[in-house]
Amino acid sequence: MDQKIILENVSKSFGNTPVLQGVNLAVESGTTLVILGRSGVGKSVLLKCIVGLLVPEEGHIFIDGVDITVLNRDELNKVRRNIGYVFQNAALYDSLTVCENLEFPVKRLAPEISAEACSELVLEKLRFVGLEDALDKYPQDLSGGMQKRIGLARSIMLDPDIVLYDEPTTGLDPITSDEISKLIRKLQQEHAITSIVITHDMKSTLTVADDVAILDKGTINTVVPVEQVFDDPDPVLHEFLTTSVGMEQTERE
């Protein structure tokens, strides 16, 4: 299996505060990697480096063999066209309808797509997340869970090979959280998407992950298949498992 995303000794600081300190990581094509870690350890920073929103001071990030840390803006945008990004707060534009929010990445990154084809894409992605009726609504008319699903739909408008998820279930009730997790898994299974998910949600982790990594003290020391998370001795992973109320080792549906 090919390695879709590779990080080599990636470091990122803000002022005198180091956040990432030599991160090494590889994500196999068509798999979902969940990254766990305490609040403030740099999980979101890591995602933003992978998509090129932040530039590391040291190290290299390869997407399909291309080192994005040395690309200019136009070259980077070509790579970004193949990467979907689901923001923690959905990051929908309040002044735009759901339809216009979904059209936005197409108009920005793929202007050659006709208006008619774009409209078909919008309906297709809304059907995938089960929100066809939300086409003409505004974000403020939607629940938090619906906004998350619209954010997911927008992230796949250009049929990317890679989707990055920043805390996709945060702030949601357990039922809605489970619905989002199942959508993430469905997308990976039906379209062979390569995904990285950062989360605090162990139930979601067991639903979506093929592999689980721990980000701690600026580095990743543990990457383990999801089936082995209950047997791994990593203390941070153990902490996540033991503090997840009612957590039981169950088979993925």
The tally of CA atoms less than 13 A away on the side-chain side of residue 198 is: 21
244 pLDDT band, cuts 50/70/90, is: low
Least confident of 93-107, 172-186, 233-247: 233-247
pLDDT attached to residue 222: 86
pLDDT digits over 180-199, tens only?
A: 999 999 999 989 999 999 98
pLDDT attached to residue 103: 95
How many angstroms separate the CA atoms of 206 and 211, rounded? Answer: 9
Tell me the fold of 3-243: Rossmann fold (3.40.50)
Domain ranges in the chain?
A: 3-243
Average pLDDT on 206-232 reads 90
Percent residues over pLDDT 70 in the chain: 95
pLDDT attached to residue 89: 80
How many angstroms separate the CA atoms of 234 and 91, rounded? Answer: 34
pLDDT digits over 49-62, tens only?
A: 999 999 999 999 99
pLDDT attached to residue 248: 45
Res. 213: pLDDT tops 70: yes
Indicate if the alpha-carbon torsion angle 185, 82, 116, 105 is positive or negative. Answer: positive
Please report, to the nearest 10 degrees, the dihedral formed by the alpha carbons of residues 122, 128, 130, 134 taken in order. -10
